Amino acid sequence: MQSTVAGIDTVRSSDGRGAGMHASADSGTMTPRAAARWAVGVGVLHAVLAAGAFAVLAAIFGFPGILREPAGVALARFAEEPTTIRTAYYAFTFGSFLYVPMAFLANAALGERARGLTALAGGLAVGAAVTQVLGFARWTILVPFLAEGWTAGQDQAQVELLFEVFNRYAGMTVGEHLGWLFQAGWVVVLALAMTRGTGLVRGLGIAGLVVAAGILVGSYEPFGIAIGVTGLAQAIFTTAFPFWFIAAAMALARRGDARS
């Protein structure tokens, strides 16, 4: 009788362990292939938001050249189309926020290749998202307030000084310099993880290092590098980044399909 009870207990214990193992498997983390596919989707959304915002601002606001114009010129141009310009900057802001899910999906897609680099990549991406969001967000609330005061003739010299101060701090320092430093660092970490692979994945990892170097050069305008050099680097490599990210995610997804 005692042996029968012991046998039943053993079966129950074994079943419990089996159920636990099954539940753990079902509730496991996202597979690298699924993460890569999601990364493609979020990367495309980021690219659409950034490209759309850039196109709108270039057409009606003289972006990005307007950022280096005197305050009076920028505020006057802003006052002509405030709603459209604010909406475009909201798109830029949300697009930068997407760096966070993009980073964590990329880490999951890289799988073992990202071993030891996951926390660093996530931290750098969050830093890039926060700093660039702060830079873009000034155009959604602060600049409209300044533009209204400027067009109403409320001590225009003081308004222009405030605009210049925030343009230098929130824009050039936080959003551009620090934002691109964090972004370049994040791309370096992702690219290094990809160089642990082979074939197309490795090749895109090497290309990522070039993209990161270009973004880094573009971030150093405040330190005396000619604006012709930094501006060209910004135009080329910040535009290249979302396309590189999408291509990398697609390559990782394809590698996952091949291995499944």
**pLDDT score, position 227:** 64
Token code pair at residue 249: 């995610």
**pLDDT score, position 3:** 45
- CA dihedral sign of residues 222, 226, 230, 232: positive
Residue type, 212: A
**pLDDT score, position 175:** 92
* Closest CA relative to residue 171, chosen from 133, 144, 124, 141: 133
25 pLDDT more than 70: no
- Residue 125, exposed/middle/buried by CB under 10 A (0-12, 13-18, 19+)? buried
Q: Percent of the chain beyond pLDDT 70? A: 84
**pLDDT score, position 231:** 73
Residue bearing the bigger pLDDT, 21 or 207: 207
**pLDDT score, position 220:** 72
**pLDDT score, position 217:** 83
**pLDDT score, position 80:** 94
The string of pLDDT tens digits covering residues 217-246 is: 887 776 666 666 777 888 888 899 999 999
Residue type, 42: V
**pLDDT score, position 254:** 87
Candidate from 41-45, 153-157, 160-164 with smallest mean pLDDT: 153-157
Report the interhelical angle of 199-218 vs 179-194 (nearest 10°): 160
Candidate from 13-17, 75-79, 126-130, 243-247 with smallest mean pLDDT: 13-17
Residue bearing the bigger pLDDT, 64 or 44: 44
Mean of pLDDT values over 149-158 = 90
Token code pair at residue 123: 């931290």
**pLDDT score, position 181:** 94
Token code pair at residue 25: 């498997």
192 pLDDT more than 60: yes
**pLDDT score, position 57:** 96
Mean of pLDDT values over 73-79 = 95
| Greatest CA separation for the chain | 97
Token code pair at residue 186: 């994040």
258 pLDDT more than 60: no
